[in-house]
Structure 1
Amino acid sequence: MKVCFFAHNSSSHQNGATLSLENIVNELVKRGIEVIIIFPNKSVKIFKESDRLKCFFVSSFSMRVPIHKKGFISNLKGRLKCTINWFSMRKTLSILKKEKPDLIHINGLDSGIGAKIASKLEVPYIWHIRQFLEEDFGLRLYNQKRVYDLLNKADSIIAISNSIKEKFEKELDRDLELIYNGIPIEKYHIKTNNRFANKQIGILLAGRINKNKGQLDAVKAVGHLVEKGFKNIYLILAGDAQDIKYLRKIQEFIIKHNLNEFIRIIDYVEELKQLRTECDIGLVCSKKEAFGRVTIETMLSNMLVIGANSGGTAELIDDDITGLLYQEGDYISLANKIEYAIANKEEMKTIIRSGYKTVVENYSVNRVVDQILDLYKEVLRTRLDKEVK
């Protein structure tokens, strides 16, 4: 079997969609599947080509635009990008005519180039929806109607959470397959029994710094606890500052409330193991995660995860069993959960063990690839049956 993946535009290879693609591709190659990946830019440098893996870079524009950007200029830019993408499609089509993939797998909502090429090659295509767009990134598709038409013609559509599934089943009026993301267990596992063993309680929030990730809620929660007399806590925010105005707002709050000794902001580090080793609690404060990869990584690190009760995060955390949930957007609710964790350390150790066990049993890369391969076989079989008829 030969599968062609279409990666979406990304400024970093550390976003969830790209990391999930990496996990799937590496496991497929291990199992003897031939894989081709079409990248729209050269920012992703995590794949090593081999006999079974080929990578092609064909420059194209993302058709995701901020929700608020509308009007003549925005529309003109969109039309220009569509024109340039047409030439990119022709170049990619030429490549794939030679490579002859059996199936195309589109990794994320964007321009729809992969779907158009699949139709021209007369091969089935699967579309993997990994983002809400509006709710998690504040984005929309420039040519949404056209893309949705292509989505509806897909042989199968994969949703990475029930929240994603429910949203797009309503918008598309068709069934979607639910396949949660898989995580390489060995990469994120931290073997330790020292959580909540020290007087100092370390709290980590990892992820790009912007308002949709909710770092200010975490900062305010820690500030509230410090005001109440908790001097044995510290918070680390680890992530690239994608929203400079939001970062400044956070910094101003820290200075205004004299929280410098309790809160540290550092640039994103590719390897988070050291930070996770020194912290006891991992926070997920996002307004609405499509899945919540950081939630799973935190559980695998044998940390207590405290997350917002929204989107994929609420699906992954069984409150008081595998982690703690707080009211999204309510920093007092978050502070109360942190305080509860500090006051009930032994109970938290039990929750940490339960969270780790749940991830190992349900969110391994092997499990997700098993499901994807089953779907590939079903789609190819169905397409063959139609051709025979």
Structure 2
Amino acid sequence: MKILFVTHNNNEKSGANRLIISLIERFNKDYEVVVLVNKTEGNLPDVLEKLGIQVVRMRYWWSCVPTRSSVARNVAVISRGYLRLLQNEVAVRKLVKLIKDENIGVVYTNTSTITFSSRAAQKANVAHVWHLREFGDKDFNFRRLLPRSSFVNRLNYGKLIAVSNSISDYYKGISSSCDIETVYNGLDISLFKNKFIPRVDNSLNLLIVGQLSKNKGQDQAIKAVKLFNEKYSPNYKASLFIAGRGDQYFLQSEMKKAGSPYYIHYLGQVENLAEVRANMHAALVCSSSEAFGRVTLESMLSGLPVIGADTAGTGELIINGMNGLLYKNKDENDLALKIHMLLDDSLRKRLSDAAFLYASNFSISHTYDDISTIIINLDK
């Protein structure tokens, strides 16, 4: 069987692409693999070609656009988005030809932002798998451009894989008849080192990783750490380290509101998170709508107990008091109290050990086995 993987961008460091690279490496051992990449900037094509993967470049566009703050910008972005949907008709025709020329048996679309590949698979009468990794609206403020009926048609063609039960429930709410199965993301466990760091003096180093945006909750982390230092635990000092890129205006605005405290540190886009995590005592995951929680698992595998919002994918991964702590979503007071609990090194060590054992079950091998089984059963 020959499988065509369709990627959404060329950023090899994005969560979706990091997983698909690992999966493609394994699929390439058992199947013939072709990867369709967009003609945009990024190193993903180079990474794949170095692995000996056949790469095909084509111009295509997302079927959603980001929601902007002003009406004028929204109108401009949406208008451009609809124009690009029309341009995707060319991509559909080209992809149908590629499917036939390469004798593709399965088209595998890697995120919900891409829909043209599902339509091409249907036109070419081949199986389609759609890996749904995001809510879209709730986590990234995306606006879908396809009419609801057209989007439901895409959901109902082929097999859907959801990265969490929260994602599965969300898309079942759009189309109750869609064929969807949850397969949790996996990681290469060997890349992580479980290292518990005892606190020194009265310090507590906290790390939050992710795209800078309101939905990821850096503002909650800033407010909670400020409360911890100035109200709940004045004899201790919690330092918050923020890693990621995105809406700089949002972050600077939140830091300014907090009085730009000296214990808030912005690290920017970090190339080697392992080095940063090696100096941390705990991780925060404050997203209101985390589709899955790769950062949660990476933190657990690195010896860091995680305090996460009790919602969506984060709430599925953290068992409160067992392998981490959950706080009431958007309640910085509760988050500050949970941070205070981690001043107890014995509790932090117990959570760290349990988290590592739990996260070790999420291997890329398990993910590959589950997805490969789905693909094998497509024709049955």
Alignment TM-score, normalising by the size of structure 1: 0.90
Are the equivalent residues in 1 in contact too, given 2:39–2:57 (CA < 8 A)?
A: yes
Note the C-alpha offset of 1:35. 1.4
2:197 to 194, 197, 206: 194
Find the counterpart in structure 2 of residue 250 from structure 1: 254
Note the C-alpha offset of 1:132. 0.5
Find the counterpart in structure 2 of residue 45 from structure 1: 43
Find the counterpart in structure 2 of residue 238 from structure 1: 243
Label 1:291 to 1:72 Cα distance change in 2 as closer, same or farther (>3 A): closer
Find the counterpart in structure 1 of residue 101 from structure 2: 98
Secondary structure of the 2:12 match is coil
Find the counterpart in structure 1 of residue 5 from structure 2: 5
Match status 1:63 vs 2:63: yes
Find the counterpart in structure 1 of residue 143 from structure 2: 140
Match status 1:375 vs 2:357: no
Q: What amino acid sits opposite 1:249 in the alignment? A: S
In structure 1, the gaps of 5 or more residues are 383-389
Are the equivalent residues in 2 in contact too, given 1:8–1:62 (CA < 8 A)?
A: yes
Label 1:194 to 1:309 Cα distance change in 2 as closer, same or farther (>3 A): same
CA distance in 2, matches of 1:252, 1:312: 30
Find the counterpart in structure 1 of residue 156 from structure 2: 152
Find the counterpart in structure 2 of residue 217 from structure 1: 220
Are the equivalent residues in 1 in contact too, given 2:62–2:115 (CA < 8 A)?
A: no
Find the counterpart in structure 1 of residue 326 from structure 2: 325
Find the counterpart in structure 1 of residue 276 from structure 2: 275
Are the equivalent residues in 1 in contact too, given 2:305–2:352 (CA < 8 A)?
A: yes
**Where does 1:126-137 land on structure 2 (aligned, <5 Å)?**
126-137=129-140
Are the equivalent residues in 2 in contact too, given 1:4–1:38 (CA < 8 A)?
A: yes
CA distance in 2, matches of 1:310, 1:81: 34
1:290-335 Cα shifts (integer Å, max 9, x gaps): 0011001000101111111111000000111110000111111110
1:74-129 Cα shifts (integer Å, max 9, x gaps): 66433321221111222333333222111111111134211122123221111111
Note the C-alpha offset of 1:73. 5.4
Over the aligned positions, Cα root-mean-square deviation in angstroms equals 2.1
Secondary structure of the 1:49 match is helix
Find the counterpart in structure 2 of residue 387 from structure 1: none
Are the equivalent residues in 2 in contact too, given 1:7–1:39 (CA < 8 A)?
A: yes
Q: What amino acid sits opposite 1:353 in the alignment? A: D
Moved more, 272-281 or 347-356: 347-356
CA distance in 2, matches of 1:142, 1:352: 43
1:240-277 Cα shifts (integer Å, max 9, x gaps): 1x2132122123134x2x611x1110111121011100
In structure 2, the gaps of 5 or more residues are none
Q: What amino acid sits opposite 2:360 in the alignment? A: V
Find the counterpart in structure 2 of residue 302 from structure 1: 303
Identity %: 28
Label 1:291 to 1:223 Cα distance change in 2 as closer, same or farther (>3 A): same
Are the equivalent residues in 1 in contact too, given 2:288–2:330 (CA < 8 A)?
A: yes
Are the equivalent residues in 1 in contact too, given 2:223–2:332 (CA < 8 A)?
A: yes
Label 1:72 to 1:358 Cα distance change in 2 as closer, same or farther (>3 A): closer
Secondary structure of the 1:105 match is strand
Secondary structure of the 1:48 match is helix
Find the counterpart in structure 2 of residue 385 from structure 1: none
Are the equivalent residues in 2 in contact too, given 1:35–1:52 (CA < 8 A)?
A: no
CA distance in 2, matches of 1:350, 1:106: 40
Find the counterpart in structure 2 of residue 259 from structure 1: 261
How many residues align? The count is 371
CA distance in 2, matches of 1:312, 1:280: 22
Note the C-alpha offset of 1:52. 5.8
Secondary structure of the 1:278 match is coil
Q: What amino acid sits opposite 2:188 in the alignment? A: P
Find the counterpart in structure 2 of residue 20 from structure 1: 19
Label 1:287 to 1:72 Cα distance change in 2 as closer, same or farther (>3 A): closer
Match status 1:35 vs 2:30: no
Match status 1:205 vs 2:208: yes
Are the equivalent residues in 1 in contact too, given 2:323–2:351 (CA < 8 A)?
A: yes
Find the counterpart in structure 1 of residue 170 from structure 2: 167
CA distance in 1, matches of 2:299, 2:201: 19
CA distance in 2, matches of 1:17, 1:193: 28
1:122 to 113, 122, 125: 125
Are the equivalent residues in 2 in contact too, given 1:184–1:365 (CA < 8 A)?
A: yes
Note the C-alpha offset of 1:193. 3.7
CA distance in 2, matches of 1:264, 1:7: 33
Q: What amino acid sits opposite 1:236 in the alignment? A: F
Note the C-alpha offset of 1:42. 3.1
Label 1:116 to 1:202 Cα distance change in 2 as closer, same or farther (>3 A): same
Q: What amino acid sits opposite 1:330 in the alignment? A: D
Label 1:62 to 1:19 Cα distance change in 2 as closer, same or farther (>3 A): same
Are the equivalent residues in 2 in contact too, given 1:234–1:263 (CA < 8 A)?
A: yes
